[in-house]
C-alpha cells in the first residue's frame, strides 16, 4: 500500500496538478475532496473545486489548523440540557445567564434561529429549540419534536409568555398554530412575531432589522 515515492509532491513544487495526482493514488482523492466540500451548504461545484485546489496548494500547517479546529469543535459540541441549543457545556451560555428574563420563552425550530434572533439584540428571554417543524409529508409530527420537553419546562410556571418564532413557511406556520392551540388554554400568553418577515423563507435569512422589528412588534396570538 502507499504511493510510489515519485507521486508524492516535493516541497517547493506549487503546482496543484502534482498534488492532485499524488492524492489520487491514496484512498482519498482530490475528487473526494471536491465531493465532500460540495456537500457543504452554499458551496456549489465551482466553489468546491476552487476551495479544493486552494487547500491542495496551501502549506500543510495552514490546512491542519482549520481541520483541527473542526474536529475539536465537533468533539466538544453538545446540546444544552435545558433548551437544546448547541453548547460546549451542560447548559448553554443563554440558559446560564441570570440577566435573561425567565418569564419569556422563544420557541424556534433550529439552533441557527437562536443565532439569528440573538443578532437582533431585541430579545432578552430564553429559548427552546424544537429540532424541526411539523411536516406530515416528511412524517414529522409533534411527537418527533421537543414538545414534551417544552411542556416539562413550562410546568413550574416561571414562563408567562411564549413566542413561537418558527419559519414563515407552511411547516413553520403549522407548528406555531399547534403550539398556540396547546399553550393558550394553559393560561400562557402566546405572542406571534409581527408580519414583515419574508414569507416562505427561513427565519435565519431574515435581516436583523426586519427580524428585530418583528420581535418588537409581536402581538397576542388571539388578536
Ligand atoms: Zn440553553
The pLDDT confidence band at residue 2, using thresholds 50, 70 and 90, is very low
Q: What is the pLDDT of residue 88?
A: 86
What does the chain come to in residues? 223
What is the 216 CA–ligand 1 centroid distance (Å)?
22
What is the 31 CA–ligand 1 centroid distance (Å)?
40
What is the 75 CA–ligand 1 centroid distance (Å)?
18
The pLDDT confidence band at residue 16, using thresholds 50, 70 and 90, is very low
Q: What is the pLDDT of residue 13?
A: 42
Cite the residue boundaries of each domain of the chain with CATH code 3.40.1360.10. Answer: 92-220
Q: What is the pLDDT of residue 33?
A: 92
Q: What is the pLDDT of residue 4?
A: 45
Lowest-confidence segment of 15-19, 46-50, 160-164, 186-190 by average pLDDT: 15-19
Q: In what order do the strands lie in the sheet with 189-192?
A: 126-129, 104-108, 161-164, 189-192, 219-220
What is the 73 CA–ligand 1 centroid distance (Å)?
18
Could you tell me what percent of the chain has a pLDDT over 70? 86
What class, spelled out in words, does domain 92-220 have in CATH? alpha beta
**Protein residues placing their CB within 5 Å of the ion ligand 1:** 80, 82-83, 85, 92, 95
**24 against 147, higher pLDDT:** 147
Return the SS3 of 95: helix
Q: Strand 78-79 and strand 86-87: pairing?
A: antiparallel
What is the 58 CA–ligand 1 centroid distance (Å)?
38
pTM: 0.71
What are the residues whose beta carbons fall under 8 Å from the beta carbon of 116, sequence distance 6 or more?
203, 204, 206, 211
Return the SS3 of 144: helix
Alpha helices per DSSP H over the chain: 16-24, 30-38, 45-57, 60-76, 93-96, 111-120, 147-154, 170-183, 208-216
Cite the residue boundaries of each domain of the chain with CATH code 1.10.8. Answer: 9-61
What class, spelled out in words, does domain 9-61 have in CATH? mainly alpha
CB half-sphere exposure, 103, CA atoms < 13 A: 5
Residue 5 confidence (pLDDT) above 80: no
Positive or negative CA dihedral for 157, 160, 166, 169? positive
8 touches 22 (CB < 8 A)? yes
What is the 102 CA–ligand 1 centroid distance (Å)?
12
Place of cell 406555531: 176
For residue 120 the three cell numbers come to: 437582533
Q: What is the pLDDT of residue 41?
A: 86
Q: What is the pLDDT of residue 205?
A: 74
What is the 200 CA–ligand 1 centroid distance (Å)?
28
What is the 178 CA–ligand 1 centroid distance (Å)?
23
DSSP letter at 41 equals T
Q: Strand 189-192 and strand 219-220: pairing?
A: antiparallel
Q: What is the pLDDT of residue 108?
A: 97
Amino acid at each position: 500500500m502507499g504511493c510510489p515515492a515519485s507521486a508524492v509532491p516535493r516541497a517547493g513544487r506549487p503546482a496543484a496538478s502534482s498534488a492532485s495526482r499524488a492524492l489520487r493514488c491514496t484512498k482519498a482523492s482530490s475528487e473526494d475532496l471536491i465531493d465532500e466540500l460540495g456537500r457543504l451548504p452554499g458551496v456549489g461545484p465551482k466553489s468546491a473545486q476552487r476551495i479544493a485546489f486552494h487547500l491542495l496548494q496551501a502549506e500543510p500547517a495552514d490546512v491542519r489548523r482549520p481541520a483541527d479546529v473542526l474536529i475539536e469543535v465537533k468533539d466538544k459540541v453538545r446540546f444544552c440540557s435545558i433548551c437544546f441549543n448547541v453548547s460546549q457545556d451542560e447548559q448553554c451560555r443563554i440558559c446560564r445567564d441570570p440577566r435573561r428574563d425567565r418569564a419569556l420563552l422563544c420557541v424556534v425550530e433550529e439552533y441557527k434561529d437562536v443565532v439569528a434572533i440573538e443578532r437582533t439584540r431585541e430579545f432578552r428571554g430564553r429559548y427552546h429549540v424544537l429540532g424541526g417543524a411539523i411536516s406530515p409529508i416528511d412524517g414529522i409530527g409533534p411527537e418527533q419534536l421537543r414538545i414534551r420537553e417544552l411542556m416539562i419546562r413550562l410546568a413550574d410556571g416561571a414562563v408567562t409568555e411564549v413566542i413561537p418564532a418558527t419559519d414563515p413557511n407552511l411547516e413553520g406556520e403549522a407548528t406555531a398554530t399547534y403550539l398556540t392551540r396547546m399553550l393558550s388554554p394553559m393560561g400562557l400568553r402566546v405572542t406571534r412575531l409581527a408580519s414583515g418577515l419574508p414569507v416562505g423563507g427561513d427565519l435565519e435569512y431574515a435581516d436583523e432589522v426586519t427580524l428585530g422589528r418583528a420581535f418588537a412588534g409581536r402581538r397576542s396570538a388571539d388578536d
